[in-house]
Amino acid sequence: MSVQSVATASLPDGVILSVENLEVCFAAGAANPMRAVRGVSFQIGRGETLALVGESGSGKSVTAMTVMRLTEYDGAKITGGRILMRLKDGGITDLTQLSEKRVEALRGFEFSIVFQDPMSSLNPVFTIGDQISEVVMRHQGKSAREARAIALNVLKLVRVPDAARRLDQYAHQLSGGMRQRVMIAMALACRPSLMILDEPTTALDVTIQAQILDLVRALQREIGMSVLFITHDMGVVAEIADRVCVMLKGEIVESGPVNQIFAAPRHRYTRALISAVPRLGSMADKDAPEKFPLVIYDAETAEPEAAL
Ligand SMILES: Nc1ncnc2c1ncn2[C@@H]1O[C@H](COP(=O)(O)OP(=O)(O)OP(=O)(O)O)[C@@H](O)[C@H]1O
């Protein structure tokens, strides 16, 4: 059992991550703290893809970054709840209770994240091969030669053509889609149980977006990892996810299997999100406003709060 495992905590069989009543505040000590995440709960099973969907500012990224324990760098504070994770050694740990040093050892090894903009995540002065190798050496204690072999394999796994040559290239020599594949390769290098993808395709054009979504699906089939996928786009949810949690103003207002949510969305905001996707719009309530981003809904009453 790992040192940081929680002796009393348990997770249902097959559950990798359980976020329970999570509360995250900015300016927590101030008179008016900003409650970015409000009582959020969800679980992710082994090999499952859960999407967090919602408009800009709904709290998706803060939730994801808190799972990675990265929000503290932005001045946020976890003010409630817990985040239980099943580790590779079978132990269960509450990520909210770990020291920074401990979490750092888990990042990239037990869970990893891929952001929207690979250019700001890749280091321009190191080769692709060196950057992937560094992650492998840090977490797995491999030699430089072994780490380079793993880097090559993982680039092949994410279908980077001519992978051996790419190892010695720099980020600026790659296209946007290729850079995002490299980021996914880096996130996969130590075979984490959970990968978080935060709007990974938003900056890419439509064809490349589709290729990256195909890749994520294929990788899941091949290596069985769990995915937390952050997006504002219900079209992407339909493509990629098994289950979805709809977020509005820091709360989950509806959740369930994707098929069920699309077939019978209960919350008006969910219907609005679905109707914002042209080819899915016909599946949603005909009364939902067509121009979704122009109407803001109240999380509790589900009534339109403001029309812009
Ligand atoms: N560093 C920060 N300081 C203060 N408030 C922040 C900070 N980062 C995020 N917030 C606030 O937390 C709330 C949730 O933001 P979050 O980034 O999680 O939204 P989101 O749903 O991921 O939207 P987007 O897709 O635009 O990133 C927003 O109201 C946002 O303004």
pLDDT band at residue 140 under the 50/70/90 scheme: confident
pLDDT band at residue 209 under the 50/70/90 scheme: confident
Residue of the CA atom closest to atom 5 of ligand 1: 26
Residue-wise pLDDT for 55-69, tens only, equals: 999 999 999 999 999
Alpha carbon separation from 29 to 75, 77, 260 (Å, rounded):
11, 9, 41
Query: How remote is the CA of residue 59 from the centroid of ligand 1, in Å?
Result: 6
Pairwise pLDDT comparison (258 vs 287), residue with the higher score: 258
Residue-wise pLDDT for 228-254, tens only, equals: 999 999 999 999 999 999 999 999 999
Q: What pLDDT shows up at residue 6?
A: 56
Residue 215 has pLDDT above 70, yes or no: yes
Query: How remote is the CA of residue 58 from the centroid of ligand 1, in Å?
Result: 7
Residue type, 64: A
Q: Candidates 52, 53, 60: which one to mutate for ligand 1, based on the most atoms within 8 Å of Cβ? A: 60
Q: What pLDDT shows up at residue 288?
A: 40
Residue of the CA atom closest to atom 10 of ligand 1: 36
Query: How remote is the CA of residue 36 from the centroid of ligand 1, in Å?
Result: 7
Residue 300 has pLDDT above 60, yes or no: no
Residue-wise pLDDT for 68-94, tens only, equals: 998 887 889 999 999 999 999 999 999
Query: How remote is the CA of residue 57 from the centroid of ligand 1, in Å?
Result: 5
Residue 21 has pLDDT above 60, yes or no: yes
Pocket of ligand 1 (CB under 6 A): 26, 34, 36, 54, 56-62, 74-75, 232
Q: What pLDDT shows up at residue 65?
A: 94
Query: How remote is the CA of residue 113 from the centroid of ligand 1, in Å?
Result: 17
Residue type, 264: A
Query: How remote is the CA of residue 199 from the centroid of ligand 1, in Å?
Result: 14
Query: How remote is the CA of residue 170 from the centroid of ligand 1, in Å?
Result: 31
Angle made by CA atoms 136, 89, 226, in degrees to the nearest 5: 70
Angle made by CA atoms 270, 275, 281, in degrees to the nearest 5: 125
Q: Candidates 61, 77, 197: which one to mutate for ligand 1, based on the most atoms within 8 Å of Cβ? A: 61
Query: Which ligand 1 atom is at minimum distance from the Cα of 198?
Result: 22
Query: How remote is the CA of residue 107 from the centroid of ligand 1, in Å?
Result: 22
Residue 36 has pLDDT above 70, yes or no: yes
Q: What pLDDT shows up at residue 296?
A: 44
pLDDT band at residue 3 under the 50/70/90 scheme: very low
Q: What pLDDT shows up at residue 91?
A: 93
Residue of the CA atom closest to atom 16 of ligand 1: 59
Q: What pLDDT shows up at residue 279?
A: 64
What are the residues whose beta carbons fall under 8 Å from the beta carbon of 107, sequence distance 6 or more?
Answer: 68, 69
* Interface ipTM: 0.95
Q: Mean pLDDT of all residues in the chain? A: 86
pLDDT band at residue 308 under the 50/70/90 scheme: very low
Q: Candidates 22, 26, 68: which one to mutate for ligand 1, based on the most atoms within 8 Å of Cβ? A: 26
Residue 295 has pLDDT above 60, yes or no: no
Residue-wise pLDDT for 158-193, tens only, equals: 999 999 999 999 999 998 889 999 999 999 999 999
Quickly list DSSP for the chain: --TTB-TT----TTEEEEEEEEEEEESTTSSS-EEEEEEEEEEEETT-EEEEE-STTSSHHHHHHHHTT-GGGGTEEEEEEEEEEE-TTS-EEEGGGS-HHHHHHHBTTTEEEE-S-HHHHS-TTS-HHHHHHHHHHHHH---HHHHHHHHHHHHHHTT-TTHHHHTT--GGGS-HHHHHHHHHHHHHTT--SEEEEESTTTTS-HHHHHHHHHHHHHHHHHH--EEEEEES-HHHHHHH-SEEEEEETTEEEEEEEHHHHHHS--SHHHHHHHHTSTTTGGGS-TTS-SSGGGEEE-TTT--EEEE-
